[in-house]
């Protein structure tokens, strides 16, 4: 089992799948043991129920849902943030991974 679990949430779960693979490559290069996966906003609740998530990152297109997710995970101690729009647009897996790691500290 991975040391850290990072969940990305976007409108359909499609656009973040490329970002997930870039984040995984960056994690391997840094020696970070992480389970990184993407889900659609509609599937997020079931993933939160079935997985032990450390960080929840929202795609810029669903940033309006941040307060909803913060309320849902308030008792679980899960950090919630919105992925920087520029990093998301550039599919900068390393920067998004760095953001996720900084939120876990």
Counting every residue written for the chain, the total comes to 105
User: Known catalytic residue: 98?
Assistant: no
Tell me, letter by letter, the H, E, C secondary structure of 5-22: EEEEEECCCCHHHHHHHH
Active-site pick, 10, 48, 55, 100? 10
| Alpha-carbon torsion, ordered 39, 4, 56, 79, to 10 deg | 170
Residues that are catalytic? 10
């Amino acid at each position: 089992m991975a040391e850290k679990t990072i969940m990305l949430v976007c409108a359909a779960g499609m656009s973040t799948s490329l970002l997930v693979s870039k984040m995984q490559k960056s994690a391997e290069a840094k020696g970070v043991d992480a389970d990184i996966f993407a889900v659609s906003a509609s599937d997020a609740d079931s993933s939160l129920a079935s997985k032990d998530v450390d960080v929840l990152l929202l795609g810029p297109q669903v940033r309006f849902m941040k307060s909803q997710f913060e309320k849902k995970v308030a008792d679980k101690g899960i950090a919630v943030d919105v992925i920087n729009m520029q990093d998301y647009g550039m599919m900068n897996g390393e920067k998004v991974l760095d953001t996720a790691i900084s939120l876990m500290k």
